Chains A and B, each alone.
Chain A
Amino acid sequence: MHNKEITKVCLLAGKLMLQGGAETYRVEDTMMRIAVAFGIDNSQSHVTPTGIMFSISETEPTNFVRIVERSTDLNKVTLVNSISRNISNGALSLEEAGAALKVIEKQTHAYPIYLQIVAAALASGCFTIMFNGQWIDFIPALIVGGTGFSAMIYFHRVVEIRFFAEFLASLLIGFFSYFFIYMEFGIELDKIIIGSVMPMVPGLLITNAVRDLMAGHLVSGLSKSAEAFLTAFAIGAGVAVVFLIV
């Protein structure tokens, strides 16, 4: 019965970290460390972006958790990491660790939505300057980037399929940027669009995918590249539709 509880805690910790965007090897490592801290030496785990398989030992039953929703939530990764650190230190018992993880599971985003939108808008404006844009394009990129990011959050809630939400949001970004150029409120259409789509593009996913491939996590690497490719395709298609229409 003790084994059952340990498996539960390990799986919950792994699930929270994977949903928060932790690296594959870190998830495997954390789950095994927690198991070792509770006296189980040869646990087995196999982590992919869409599911976790974990077994206390070779002859015990294997447990499986499916991961549907993935986002980047570094706060959760940090919290779970410090819990696993405390477990290794012996500062947390099995029950306490399970309770603490359940609290983290219920926790929502650390920053309110409006703050995230402001951050996305600021990042869009700054990226326009970083890609050698001119300061006159800063304000249009700020507005378009903020609108695009809030549109993505909204569509993400309404539309079930993520890539369609990204497509619609980048369609909006294309239209708004074109509108600003048309009103002669900006100079370079390309710089405004590139800055505004930056909060949505899967640059991080691409890099993580290559890194996973290098580390030998071939399944994770390939599935992450597929996800990154689809996202980039959705964004590129959304903007391209605007180019085709106008």
Chain B
Amino acid sequence: MIIEQLVTSFIAAAAFSVIFNAPKNRLIQCGLVGMLGWFVYTICTVNGIDAVVATVAASILVAVLSQLCAKFYKTPIIIFTVSGIIPLVPGGLAYDAMRNFVVNDYNMAIQLAAKAFLISGAIAIGLVFSEIINQMIRKAKWKKIQ
């Protein structure tokens, strides 16, 4: 079950980077970043951890991996984060919420919309958090050199 999740999330992330026109020689890395992020998310949710917390953990990992890749290949970090968070983004939830709004089931719709909002906030927090950590490390190093 874990193996099929790994394979499908790798293909999905790599396929999305084709749709988003990522450079040809970075597709494998994009797929790997997406796969590892989804791996953390599934491991967390299978063990009963809340989806929002699992998303924060996964997106922190995605951001750290993307920073490493961006540094190594000298490309903007957005290439890797975009494909990395694609499996995590609450697109399905957002669609589900809207569908419930349209068929007048407001109770369900508000619940789903709130959850989609929280999860997208969690992804953003994960990305920003690791960026702040990165900046702090950089500043600390700079002080030492001075």
Q: How many A-B contacts are there with CB distance less than 8 Å? A: 159
Task: Pick the interface stretch among A5-13, A43-51, A154-162, A201-209.
Answer: A201-209
Interface size on B, residues (CB 8 A): 48
Residue with the greatest number of chain A CB neighbours at <10 A, chosen from B8, B22, B96: B8
Contact assessment for B19 and A207 in the assembled complex, using a CB-CB cutoff below 8 Å: no
Most chain A CB within 10 A, of B17, B79, B102, is at B102
Give the interface segment out of A60-68, A95-103, A120-128, A177-185: A120-128
Task: Decide yes or no: A74 and B15 within 8 Å by CB, A198-B92, A235-B95, A239-B99 being known contacts.
Answer: no
- Looking at the assembled complex, report how far the CB atom of A205 sits from the nearest CB atom of chain B, in whole angstroms: 9
A78 CB within 8 Å of chain B = yes
Task: Mark A75-90 against chain B: 1 for CB-CB distance below 8 A, else 0.
Answer: 1111001100100000
Dominant SS at the B interface?
A: helix
Cβ of A1 < 8 Å from any Cβ of B? no
| B-contact 0/1 string along A180-214, CB 8 Å cutoff | 00000000000000100111011110110111001
Q: Is the CB of B20 within 8 A of A207?
A: no
Q: With A26-B76, A243-B99 known to touch, is A206 a contact of B20 (CB < 8 Å)?
A: no
Nearest CB on A from B123, distance (A): 5
- Determine whether B82 belongs to the interface, using a CB cutoff of 8 Å to chain A: yes
Q: Does B120 contact A (CB under 8 A)?
A: yes
Q: Evaluate contact between B21 and A111: CB separation under 8 angstroms.
A: yes
Whether the Cβ atoms of A210 and B8 lie closer than 8 Å is: no
Q: Does B86 contact A (CB under 8 A)?
A: yes
Mark contacts of A108-120 with chain B using CB atoms, 8 A cut-off: 1 yes-contact digit, 0 otherwise.
Answer: 0111000110011
What string of 1s and 0s marks CB contacts (under 8 Å) between B71-90 and chain A? 00011101100100111011
Q: Which residue of B lies closest to A234 (CB)?
A: B98
A201 to B20, alpha carbons, bound, how many Å? Answer: 13
B23 neighbours in A (Cβ, 8 Å): 74-75, 78, 110
Known: A203-B94, A206-B94, A207-B89. A130 touches B9 (CB 8 A): yes
Q: How far is the CA of A74 from the CA of B15 in the complex (A)?
A: 14
- Which residues A4-57 have CB closer than 8 A to chain B? 20-23, 26
CB of A236 within 8 A of CB of B101, answer yes
- Of residues 9 to 64 in B, which have CB atoms within 8 Å of A's CB atoms? 9, 11-12, 14-24, 38
CB-based contact A75/B21 at 8 Å: yes
Return B56 CB to nearest CB of chain A, in Å: 13
Task: Please state if A126 and B19 are interface contacts (CB–CB under 8 Å).
Answer: no
Chain A residues in 8 Å Cβ range of B20: 21, 72-74
Q: Is B128 positioned at the interface, with any CB of A under 8 Å from its CB?
A: yes
* Nearest B-chain residue to A127, judged by Cβ: B12
Once the chains are docked, how many angstroms separate the CA of A201 from the CA of B19?
A: 13
Residues of A within 8 A of B123 (CB): 207, 210
Of all chain A residues, the one with the shortest Cβ separation from B41 is: A130
With A203-B120, A209-B120 given, can you name 8 additional A-B contacts, CB distance below 8 Å?
A74-B78, A77-B76, A109-B21, A194-B92, A194-B95, A210-B124, A239-B95, A244-B103
